[in-house]
A and B are shown apart, each in its own frame.
Chain A
């Protein structure tokens, strides 16, 4: 093993640090935080500003809007986004999850038409898998599509819920049943559905955390044949491939890192003297955070080399989400109600928001119980592999 980070990544970190600190970025960020829409705050103008400089998809090939950088550039990009207070969810879903799936499994036409727009911030995406009766059990989707009578495409009918950022997405990657054959895993098809298509309605659902959920209804939504992503009926294998991109833990690790940094600052704020047990708690969380970072990097390295490993990725997401959750809860247990006050130099109480967000971290994007099942299946059964 070696842990040398390329010079190009160091330079890239300096570049994004400067970009995220520039006056226009700060102005646009201030606008987002004002939440003029009374929802999450629309971050798309900010993304377009950042995307113009080509920093948002550093690990993608140049023809698709990237820079051919290695995975460490993606890590520093996310670290810097979060530590500069730039909301990363819509970006992460659009570029790192949906975009990565298109890069892996899309047609060349889809890559050339969609990836540069995602990388520039001109196109945003959300994921519509979860339904009111089916959360972790994705193979049970009931939203269905039937061929249009005139042969022009498909008609989608159904409901998706508890999805993030749908109100700000231009297009949705949607899991839909196109054949109710014998196997639950067959007959699922992925569609890329423009969310301004007639028949799509998006309703916000306030959540415990700062980011709202959404309830999306499809009523006789007509889409063309080109809306199918992959092959008809082959959605399940694409969903599992997407999990390897989604579940690398990076977006959880970067939040954990920022929260621990803020909590460490609070331990000594205004001359406060931390106790030995507080310092030991800090060291414990720092060690686990370091391990989370390395597990994320391992999953990203595999992904970057085209070796999609769902068990390795699931393990990373499980680890990073539990690290982040543990830090948020430890910060509250250590700092008490002081935690609810805004941190100096931030627009709002970051650790207070983290505390509200924490319970959902081990639920969304793969519940811990599901992820542990995947790890157990891959690593504990007699015919499974071992590490070490």
Chain B
């Protein structure tokens, strides 16, 4: 057991930080690092570095206040379609970062439906902004069964509508008879891919939380009230110190869950539980950062306000924390309270 960031993880984090400082297309900058293929299966042409690498990328995206949800949606679709032989030419484009992929109705029920001719109808949930060339939609067929379908969006049957959540840009896909190909996915593949998506989402949220804490820390050292920096007030410093301590614990847990997934181990509820705590932690940290900034934090484009909006949307993107806790509750007899076995 070694609880220090390893050199590969450190280099990846540094590379993502550098990519985020460049002014060009951030997706293209990341593609140059091998994203999104970094953690994607080698059978699809990915690097197969696994979640232990992917969480470093996502944590730094969160810290950089560039969550880039289309990237995580793309990786999720790549993992769902592994070894299915479906949409292979498109997958190649997606893997190179030239197009994005998305899921619709997978994280939340959107009421999408497929008619007897195999055509998809209905609206997706709010999706992160992206250039979507491929969609995996979970929809209900005319016979009442619910299953995943692969859709290649075509402007004649899939309109892209712009929207916003907390004033952050989103898109919604409006399907009006899009050709949908039923996907026969083993349940194990489905749950494994969704769990991995939860781990990546937790990484983004913990990165966002770290940024909020860093911003708050910087502010309370600079802002002088009553003749002293705010950080010298114990009500301020203890509140932040608690969150710093929680952050350390959740970060280690993130790495452990990712590592176990990479080894093909782990309890079924681990990923949902990790995402639930990461979501709540991100909300707490961003709210604390706003509180400590006072009114100036409430300015529309303050970093604290931006972190607050981003963390809120990302915390609920794959399900509200309350819903995640429901997924994270194994029967008490299966709590697996042993540490190393």
Contacts and interface: CB of A to CB of B under 8 A. Distances in A.
Interface string A285-328: 01111111111011001000000000000010011000000000
Interface string B203-222: 00001001000100100110
B63 interface: yes
Interface string A252-287: 000001001100110110000010100110111011
A372 B248 contact: no
B24 interface: no
Interface string A141-162: 0000000000000000000000
Given A267-B332, A282-B332, A291-B253, A375 B245 contact: yes
B253 A380 contact: no
Interface string A1-17: 11111000110010000
A293 B339 contact: yes
Q: Which 8 A-B pairs have the closest CB atoms?
A: A291-B249, A279-B329, A294-B252, A264-B332, A376-B237, A280-B325, A376-B241, A382-B221
B249 A319 contact: yes
Interface in B186-218: 207, 210, 214, 217
B295 interface: no
B333 A372 contact: no
A284 B245 contact: no
Interface string B144-169: 00000000000000000000000000
A342 to B, nearest CB: 19
Interface string A315-349: 10011000000000000000000000000000000
A257 to B, nearest CB: 6
A376 B340 contact: no
Interface stretch (B92-100, B271-279, B297-305): B271-279
B220 A380 contact: yes
A287 B276 contact: yes
B240 A265 contact: no
Interface residues of A, number: 56
A315 B248 contact: yes
Contacts of B253: 287, 290-291, 294
Interface of B: 1-6, 9, 52, 59, 63, 207, 210, 214, 217, 220-221, 231, 234, 237-238, 240-242, 244-253, 255-256, 259-260, 269, 273-274, 276-277, 325-326, 328-333, 335, 337-341
Given A268-B331, A279-B332, A301-B2, A3 B260 contact: yes
Contacts of A5: 1, 340
A260 B330 CA distance: 14
Contact of A1 (B5, B210, B335): B5
Given A279-B330, A298-B248, A372-B242, 5 more contacts: A3-B259, A76-B339, A79-B338, A282-B335, A291-B252
20 contacts: A1-B5, A70-B1, A75-B340, A257-B337, A283-B276, A283-B325, A286-B273, A290-B256, A291-B246, A297-B3, A301-B2, A319-B245, A319-B249, A372-B237, A375-B245, A376-B238, A380-B244, A386-B217, A388-B210, A388-B251
Contacts, number: 169
Contacts of B237: 372-373, 376, 380
Interface of A: 1-5, 9-10, 13, 70-72, 75-76, 79, 257, 260-261, 264-265, 267-268, 274, 276, 279-280, 282-284, 286-295, 297-298, 301, 315, 318-319, 369, 372-373, 375-376, 379-382, 386-388
B340 A76 contact: yes
Contacts of B255: 1, 3
**Considering residues A75, A372, A388, which has the most beta carbons from chain B within 10 angstroms of its beta carbon?**
A388
Contacts of A75: 339-340
Contacts of A295: 245, 248-249, 252
Contacts of A291: 246, 249-250, 252-253, 277
Given A287-B253, A291-B252, A380 B231 contact: yes
